[in-house]
A and B are shown apart, each in its own frame.
Chain A
Amino acid sequence: GENVEQHPSTLSVQEGDSAVIKCTYSDSASNYFPWYKQELGKRPQLIIDIRSNVGEKKDQRIAVTLNKTAKHFSLHITETQPEDSAVYFCAAPSQNSGNTPLVFGKGTRLSVIA
């Protein structure tokens, strides 16, 4: 089955700097890679996702890149703000059919220091 590794587990950046979180996956057949943001005491919220027919996707200050050859994908947050502080999870489907269920990385706790 799929295995997802996420690094780093914690990340502190100064406000305005960029943050990068990386994930690797094991199943070369995986074709869907979402990122979730979870604020303290709240639900994981989908912030961006990428499907394997593209290498990069952007949404304002957030971007995700995918390298299928190396089996890794990354979340990039530019111009970080204090409200970006949260735990971020990457995921990949445990099987290729239907993109569910998801296997999650262990999470990255991002702290943006004002």
Chain B
Amino acid sequence: KAGVTQTPRYLIKTRGQQVTLSCSPISGHRSVSWYQQTPGQGLQFLFEYFSETQRNKGNFPGRFSGRQFSNSRSEMNVSTLELGDSALYLCASTSEGAAGNTIYFGEGSWLTVV
């Protein structure tokens, strides 16, 4: 099985711009979640989508949004970029089993805001 695929892997944006990141989960996984990783704050949950519906949301401002498509692919968008949005954005695909869920991460999208 192919793993979690994220695009683009690296990008540089200017303050005030917006960015869209894409994630394709592992085949058969219906849940996708997004995390932000920074040296200071560690790994923080952004939001989770299941069957095209947002199921959970973290404590991030409304500039951060996401969506999921019928094929389970997901996108997240950050508008009006700030310097502090520079981070590794990780998409996670969830395997749902009888014993519980297991989360697998993609390679991430490195965003630098200048």
A-to-B contact residues, CB < 8 Å: 31-32, 34, 36, 42-46, 49, 51, 89, 91, 94-95, 98-107
> Is B106 part of the binding interface, using a Cβ–Cβ cutoff of 8 Å?
yes
Size range of the interface on B? 20 to 34
On whether the beta carbons of B43 and A43 are closer than 8 Å, the reply is: no
Shortest Cβ gap from A42 to chain B (Å): 7
On whether the beta carbons of B43 and A46 are closer than 8 Å, the reply is: no
Closest to B48 in A: A101
The distance in angstroms between the C-alpha atoms of A44 and B103, with both chains bound, is 10
> Is B58 part of the binding interface, using a Cβ–Cβ cutoff of 8 Å?
yes
On whether the beta carbons of A43 and B45 are closer than 8 Å, the reply is: no
The 9 closest A-B pairs by CB, nearest first: A104-B43, A99-B101, A101-B45, A43-B105, A99-B100, A43-B107, A106-B42, A44-B105, A32-B100
On whether the beta carbons of A44 and B43 are closer than 8 Å, the reply is: yes
| A46-B102 contact given A94-B45, A100-B56, A106-B42, CB 8 Å threshold | yes
